[in-house]
Amino acid sequence: MTSLILPLNPAWAADAAKPVTEQLVDTLTQLSAGPHPGFRANHAKGVMAEGYFTPAASAASITKAEIFNQRHPVLLRYSNAGGVPASADNDPNAFPKGIAIRFQLPNDENADLVCISINSFPASTPEEFLGLLQAVAASGPDAPQPKPIEQFLGSHPAALRFVTTPKPLPESFASQSFFGVNAFKFTNAKGETHYGRYRIVPEQGPKFLSAEAAKAVEQDYLKNELTQRLQKGAYSYRISVQIAKEGDQLNDATVSWPEDRQVVELGTLTVEKLRADGDELQKTVMFSPLNLVDGIEASDDPILKARPGVYSVSFSRRLQGK
């Protein structure tokens, strides 16, 4: 089973009187032995890059959204899961990996796309996710058997499936696929609508390290590898959307859709260089999956609806140096 246990800071235990969004940030902070001033409560360790998006002709069949039907510069951030800013890239607690993409539009407007490296989520509601995190927080070395996390996973099969899913270490962020675990409603110029989930796949296909090689990598190998890779040239991903069929779960992020569902290409994301100011810039940027444009709407997935609120709490504390 993938490890979830980190040293705890009881001072940041969640207060049940607070909104669930704030309790989630408190518990994530506790799990990372924080607070770590100036850093995110989750996906704290990151690296920022920039490039551009080039649309595919097929994108217009799914959505009229400006971000997918014109070429745009993009800002992106890769990250490790967890709230530890100096986490080792091969630490089991640093999974799933994340990618956040900001499409930079005219008139200083923008839109975001946020995905992770696993094609599902461990909980279907914010409250359930909080329960998982609190079970981890209560499962320190002195906790009686069976530990709270064992009890939680025993009664929540989706969470058990998530933590036991193999999470091989990528050769590079450039060779890692990413998935949108929440559904969105896409509308094209004809008014036709489809629900779909994002997929981001490396042009050269995903590539992973062997178990032995994964043990031997340096703490910051993912950023270092990108630095070396981009000295040789740009790399690309295909961004697409997997289309739901009638009966597919639209509002439950724990459920992956069957692989036989139609996948429509939206375009190509090309990464050109790392941001020299990335360490400071990422402290002042908040990516939100609900930062949308016309032609894309949120589903009623409760996890999706809660994410901006959680990010806002973390962002506010980050700006305050908490």
What are the structural domain ranges in the chain?
Answer: 45-120+166-300
Q: What is the tens place of the pLDDT at every residue in 140-181?
A: 899 999 999 999 999 999 999 999 999 999 999 999 999 999
Pairing of strands 46-55, 110-116: unpaired
The tens digit of pLDDT for each residue in 306-316 reads: 999 999 999 99
| CATH (residue range 45-120+166-300) | 2.40.180.10
Alpha helices in the chain (DSSP H): 20-31, 66-69, 126-137, 148-155, 157-164, 211-216, 221-232, 278-281, 302-319
d(CA 103, CA 254) in angstroms, rounded, equals 27
Among candidates 191, 202, 185, which has minimal Cα distance to 241? 185
What is the chain's pLDDT, residue by residue, as a tens digit (322 residues)?
A: 344 544 445 555 557 789 999 999 999 999 999 999 999 999 999 999 999 999 999 999 999 999 999 999 999 999 999 999 999 999 999 999 999 999 999 999 999 999 999 999 999 999 999 999 999 999 989 999 999 999 999 999 999 999 999 999 999 999 999 999 999 999 999 999 999 999 999 999 999 999 999 999 999 999 999 999 999 999 999 999 999 999 999 999 999 999 999 999 999 999 999 999 999 999 999 999 999 999 999 999 999 999 999 999 999 999 998 8
How many Å is the maximal CA-CA distance in the chain? Answer: 61
Count of CA atoms in the C-beta half-sphere (13 A) of 216: 6
| 298 conformational bin, left if phi > 0, alpha if psi -120 to 50, beta if neither | beta
95: nearest Cα among 180, 169, 9: 169
Our CA angle for 13, 15, 16, nearest 5°, is 130
